[in-house]
Amino acid sequence: RLIILDFGSQYTQLIARRIRELHVFCEIHPYTHAPNLVLSDDIRGVILSGSPCSVREEGAPNPDLSHLLGHVPVLGVCYGAQLLAQQGGGEVLPATIREYGRARLTSLDGGSALLTDMHTDSQVWMSHGDTIKVLPAGYDIIASTPEVDVAAFKIEGQETYGIQFHPEVTHSTEGKVLLHNFVVNICQCAQSWTPDHFVDSAVEALQHTIGPDDQVILGLSGGVDSSVAALLLHRAIGPRLHGIFVDNGLLRQDEFATVLKAYEGLGLNVTGVNAAPEFYAALAGISDPEGKRKAIGRTFIEVFDREAQKVQGARWLAQGTIYPDVIESVSVKGPAVTIKSHHNVGGLPEKMNLKIVEPLRMLFKDEVREVGAALELPAEILNRHPFPGPGLGIRILGDITPEKVDLLQRADGVFINLLKQHGLYEHVWQAGAMLLPVQSVGVMGDERTYERVVALRAVTSVDGMTADWAHLPYDFLAEVSNKIINQVRGINRVVYDISSKPPATIEWE
């Protein structure tokens, strides 16, 4: 495996994803782990990430790397390269102009193993405020750009390299070639990290960890992560996995029945719990979004706990936690190293004395999907849009009643089904309808109506952090609007949300 030491760059996760795309396993560790990194046969190389800091700043990350250099291949990227240069006695200074954007590698040592198969004039992505002015003795320049003399260097007699540009960003058009050169040719990492390989090793590990009589509980939501976790556990321990799928009355139209049937078709041992009345009772009269979220969360724990108590011999609570949730995020600008913790099903593990098992904790989202495909998860679950835990509860603005849920389920159902029929579902990241707390005037035949408004929302995004409104065709929007107004009595007006995130959010509450 390969270790990435994170100095706080926004691109660190991207480096990891690019390396995983080469089918090589890598892990991200905070730079503070560097001194404790004990080299074993199993660690084939180390990458030092970029950072928002400057090596010239007082208190900037400056871990001792001497036990690594010369003993294992090392690649410093941006800050990582500057750190190598500075620690070796070179000079790093503020760049005269901040170098940001595309650049061309005009001179390049084709004989260097790091740059094999890369072309002169190769486009690279620069993003740095400092630049390496003087390299220490024994450091050789292996690539330059018109603005940056030291675009890449190598330490003589070692497999230690530094690069000023970012190979992980797609604007570095041959970045993948460089990463392949480092990871596969120089570090000699095996390209064995494939979905099938992951499934085999994860199943084996689960069988080893979970005792032969232990029962495992898992909350299923119909989403990709929990479904893939269920299939892996099912393969490892069969019916000793007890899935619990709660209908909170805030799911999409027909979702509960369809998904439950899909789970049963996969041979999973799943209990469907119809708890809609309990959720509606807990939500009655609450209009504040956070109040609704709390009521939904609390009720979920009560229902889940009650069901989980029925499982004799339960020892484990499985969760669909994925890698971005567990990476220790370094805060290089502040003193603390914080660890993000995934939300547990509050209090249940302690109360029932359950241990936690998280079979997907080393996977990125796209890898979860690949593993799901390898496990033959049906496409309808595999390609599903993200859906918030509180469901339609935060898409009905104001208080929630079963009548409003029914109205929104039908309008949302029309929208989603038409997206699928027109082949647009895969092109948007998330879509849904919001029921607004206003009524407006309309005419139907000779009569005036005074009915509700539905807002349609569809966005394109990569990770939900930022999003653009989806530019759906007018004809399509017209068809959705007509169908909702004709078929869903109680709605006489449909609007389309054309705001992006930021400053708007994806959900309306």
> How far apart are CB 296 and ligand XMP at their closest, in Å?
8
> How far apart are CB 343 and ligand XMP at their closest, in Å?
9
- Closer to ligand XMP by CB, 389 or 490: give it: 389
> How far apart are CB 225 and ligand XMP at their closest, in Å?
11
- Residue 29 appears among annotated catalytic residues: no
Using CA atoms, how far apart are residues 490 and 496, in angstroms rounded to an integer?
A: 18
DSSP code string of 414-436: HHHHHHHHTT-GGGSSEEEEEEE
- Indicate whether 195 belongs to the interface with ligand XMP (CB under 6 A): no
Q: Which of 120, 188, 486, 505 binds ligand XMP (CB under 6 A)?
A: 505
**Binding span for ligand XMP by CB under 6 A among 13-21, 88-96, 228-236, 501-509:** 501-509
**Binding span for ligand XMP by CB under 6 A among 112-120, 142-150, 249-257, 498-506:** 498-506
The residues in 290-319 that bind ligand XMP, with binding defined as CB under 6 A, are: 293
Q: Which of 88, 389, 398, 490 binds ligand XMP (CB under 6 A)?
A: 389
- Residue 451 appears among annotated catalytic residues: no
- Closer to ligand XMP by CB, 5 or 506: give it: 506
The CA–CA distances, whole Å, from 393 to 226, 276, 290, 386 equal 21, 12, 11, 15
The CA–CA distances, whole Å, from 197 to 18, 202, 435 equal 18, 8, 45
The CA–CA distances, whole Å, from 491 to 397, 416, 428, 445, 446 equal 15, 17, 25, 15, 17
Q: Which of 128, 166, 180, 385 is catalytic?
A: 166
- Whether residue 138 contacts residue 155, with contact meaning beta carbons closer than 8 Å, is answered with yes
Using CA atoms, how far apart are residues 404 and 250, in angstroms rounded to an integer?
A: 10
Q: Which of 327, 319, 315 lies closest to 360 in space, CA to CA?
A: 319
Count of chain residues binding ligand XMP (CB under 6 A):
11
- Whether residue 397 contacts residue 435, with contact meaning beta carbons closer than 8 Å, is answered with yes
- Closer to ligand XMP by CB, 193 or 469: give it: 469
**Binding span for ligand XMP by CB under 6 A among 153-161, 178-186, 385-393, 449-457:** 385-393
Q: Which of 31, 390, 396, 435 binds ligand XMP (CB under 6 A)?
A: 390
- Indicate whether 507 belongs to the interface with ligand XMP (CB under 6 A): yes
> How far apart are CB 333 and ligand XMP at their closest, in Å?
24
In this structure, the strands spanning 160-163 and 74-77 are: parallel
Q: Which of 136, 388, 442, 490 binds ligand XMP (CB under 6 A)?
A: 388
Q: Which of 168, 307, 367, 509 is catalytic?
A: 168
Using CA atoms, how far apart are residues 49 and 65, in angstroms rounded to an integer?
A: 13
DSSP code string of 40-87: -TT--EEEE---SS-TTSTT------TTTBTTB-EEEETHHHHHHHHH
DSSP code string of 355-401: EEE-TTTT--HHHHHHHHHHTT--HHHHTPPP--TTGGGGTB-S---
- Indicate whether 501 belongs to the interface with ligand XMP (CB under 6 A): yes
Structural tokens at position 179: 């990463």
> How far apart are CB 506 and ligand XMP at their closest, in Å?
3
The residues in 463-492 that bind ligand XMP, with binding defined as CB under 6 A, are: 464
| CA dihedral of residues 283, 289, 290, 293 (deg, nearest 10) | 50
Q: Which of 49, 145, 299, 430 binds ligand XMP (CB under 6 A)?
A: 430
- Residue 168 appears among annotated catalytic residues: yes
| CA dihedral of residues 262, 464, 327, 131 (deg, nearest 10) | 150
> How far apart are CB 389 and ligand XMP at their closest, in Å?
3
- Closer to ligand XMP by CB, 325 or 507: give it: 507
> How far apart are CB 370 and ligand XMP at their closest, in Å?
21
Using CA atoms, how far apart are residues 276 and 287, in angstroms rounded to an integer?
A: 18
- Closer to ligand XMP by CB, 203 or 435: give it: 435
List of E strands, 65-182: 74-77, 91-105, 107-108, 122-134, 139-144, 152-155, 160-163
> How far apart are CB 505 and ligand XMP at their closest, in Å?
3
Residues near ligand XMP, by CB under 6 A: 293, 386, 388-390, 430, 464, 501, 505-507
Task: State the catalytic residues.
Answer: 78, 166, 168
